[in-house]
Copies of this chain bind each other. A is one copy, B any other.
Amino acid sequence: MYTGKNILVGQSGGPTAVINASLAGVLSAARQAGIGKIYGMRYGLQGLLEGKIIDLEPLTSEKNLLLLQKTPAAYLGSCRVKLPKIEDKAEVYEALFAFLMERDIGAVFYIGGNDSMDAARKLSAYAARVSSPIRFIGVPKTIDNDMACTDHTPGFGSAARYIACVTREVVQDALVYDQKRITIMEIMGRDAGWLTGAAALAWGANHIGPDFIYLPETPLDLDEFCERAVERQRTRRSLVIAVSEGVRATSGHYVCEATAMNPDYQDAFGHRDISGTARALCELLALRCGCKARAVEVNVLQRCAAHYTAATDVREAFAVGEAAVRAAMAGHTGVMPAFERIGSDPYACRIVLRNLGDIANAVRHVPLEWIKPGGAGLTDEFLQYVRPLADMENDEEGLPALP
């Protein structure tokens, strides 16, 4: 059915440590299926709109597929472009489809997060409207893990493993001096606190971990926040606090708004620049606690740490790429391979197809009942959910803290 047809694959949104493993999965399955040419978009839809596609044949060698799985960030390049509504600017879609037909493209695979799934949804909706046979399949990725209709997203497990590891290291570092001090770690997550919650994994056999964890799901009362820190410092002199970059005060404003370098900046999707949360909270606590306060912005390091991935995550990222190709071969369009969890002990997931219309623009939050009040951490349910994704079922033994 696909004989003679070509395919096109692109990446979109923020990179992850394993997004290239999904690309490798698409390439591997396509090569095995005997598909014609395999094209890649340079810089996602933005590049496609400018006609920037390249032949990916050289990437499909055994050696390059292996290298690709170890390479962080989006190898094809990415973008943050929002497609217009079809009824507002049909000519954009007409031009795109003409371009795809000219190159005999039978299926398009778009690897990305919520905004990217919305783009894939719009394209498949336009295909239905004009009765185009071109199939559009989404491939999930986001370290934020905030996608609807799936147990989790590729990219999250590795980022969670990395956050657990560096949180433990930062806590060890913070305990070194016999001094009052505050360390605030800023972790990515605009609306959902899945990744910041992974800081709770730092608590292990050696009984050290972050003192407080604050997610965007619950508003932050700044007075209570300070009081809790002052109270805790009576028994623990050096505190470590993990916060999502997207934490909001009870006023509804982002905590970082007072100190943001570009408070008015918005990207194509209307997202604000929300860095500086830890720094703002440090300024507050340094005054209230009367001690040095240090912000540790984990920054892009948490989404590109290919040197410390979760093997489960790499394998699953590859698998959704393969599943996307199989879905297109089976005649599906407007869908995304997603994970359905069968069990956590032992961990098992199966891949199912979900409709892009149910996924696009939805945000999946950490359930409120998994968040302990007052920044006291995450529940066992959360930890059981995230541990197998981060390859942390069997946590290493560590040295006990000294008296």
Instruction: List residues of A whose CB falls within 8 A of some B CB.
Output: 15, 42-43, 46-47, 54, 59, 64, 67-68, 71-80, 165-166, 169-170, 172-173, 175-178, 183, 261, 282-283, 294, 296-301, 303-308, 397-399, 402-403
Chain B proximity of A196: nearest CB distance (Å): 16
Q: Which residue of B lies closest to A303 (CB)?
A: B173
Q: How far is the CA of A42 from the CA of B178 in the complex (A)?
A: 9
Q: Which residue of B lies closest to A178 (CB)?
A: B43
Kindly identify which residue among B76, B304, B308, B399 contacts A170, using a CB–CB cutoff of 8 Å. Answer: B304
List residues of chain B with CB within 8 A of the CB of A304.
Answer: 169-170, 172-173
6 nearest A-B pairs in the assembled complex, by CB-CB distance: A73-B172, A43-B178, A169-B304, A173-B304, A73-B173, A78-B176
Given known pairs A297-B297, A299-B297, A398-B67, the reply for A169 and B72 (CB within 8 Å) is yes
Chain B proximity of A313: nearest CB distance (Å): 16
Given known pairs A173-B300, A178-B46, A300-B173, the reply for A77 and B307 (CB within 8 Å) is no
Apart from A15-B172, A170-B301, 18 more pairs, CB < 8 Å:
A43-B177, A43-B178, A47-B178, A67-B397, A71-B398, A72-B169, A72-B172, A77-B177, A77-B402, A169-B305, A169-B307, A173-B300, A173-B303, A183-B300, A294-B300, A297-B297, A301-B301, A308-B308
Q: How far is the CA of A397 from the CA of B70 in the complex (A)?
A: 11
List residues of chain B with CB within 8 A of the CB of A403.
Answer: 54
Number of copies: 2
Chain B proximity of A54: nearest CB distance (Å): 7
Q: How far is the CA of A399 from the CA of B54 in the complex (A)?
A: 16
Kindly identify which residue among B72, B175, B299 contacts A296, using a CB–CB cutoff of 8 Å. Answer: B299
Q: How far is the CA of A398 from the CA of B70 in the complex (A)?
A: 9
Kindly identify which residue among B79, B175, B308 contacts A178, using a CB–CB cutoff of 8 Å. Answer: B79
Chain B proximity of A288: nearest CB distance (Å): 15
Given known pairs A173-B15, A177-B43, A308-B308, the reply for A399 and B75 (CB within 8 Å) is yes
Can you name 27 A-B pairs with beta carbons within 8 Å? A42-B402, A43-B177, A43-B178, A54-B403, A67-B397, A67-B399, A68-B399, A71-B172, A72-B169, A73-B172, A73-B176, A77-B176, A77-B178, A79-B177, A80-B177, A165-B307, A166-B301, A169-B301, A169-B305, A169-B307, A170-B300, A170-B301, A172-B304, A173-B303, A261-B282, A296-B301, A297-B299
Q: How far is the CA of A80 from the CA of B176 in the complex (A)?
A: 11
Contact B301 A74, beta carbon cutoff 8 Å = no
List residues of chain B with CB within 8 A of the CB of A74.
Answer: 176
Chain B proximity of A391: nearest CB distance (Å): 13
Q: How far is the CA of A402 from the CA of B54 in the complex (A)?
A: 9
Q: How far is the CA of A73 from the CA of B294 in the complex (A)?
A: 17
Contact B296 A399, beta carbon cutoff 8 Å = no
Chain B proximity of A165: nearest CB distance (Å): 5
Q: How far is the CA of A68 from the CA of B403 in the complex (A)?
A: 16
Q: How far is the CA of A308 from the CA of B162 in the complex (A)?
A: 12
List residues of chain B with CB within 8 A of the CB of A177.
Answer: 43, 77-80
Kindly identify which residue among B73, B80, B175, B298 contacts A175, using a CB–CB cutoff of 8 Å. Answer: B73
Q: How far is the CA of A169 from the CA of B75 in the complex (A)?
A: 12
Q: How far is the CA of A217 from the CA of B378 in the complex (A)?
A: 47
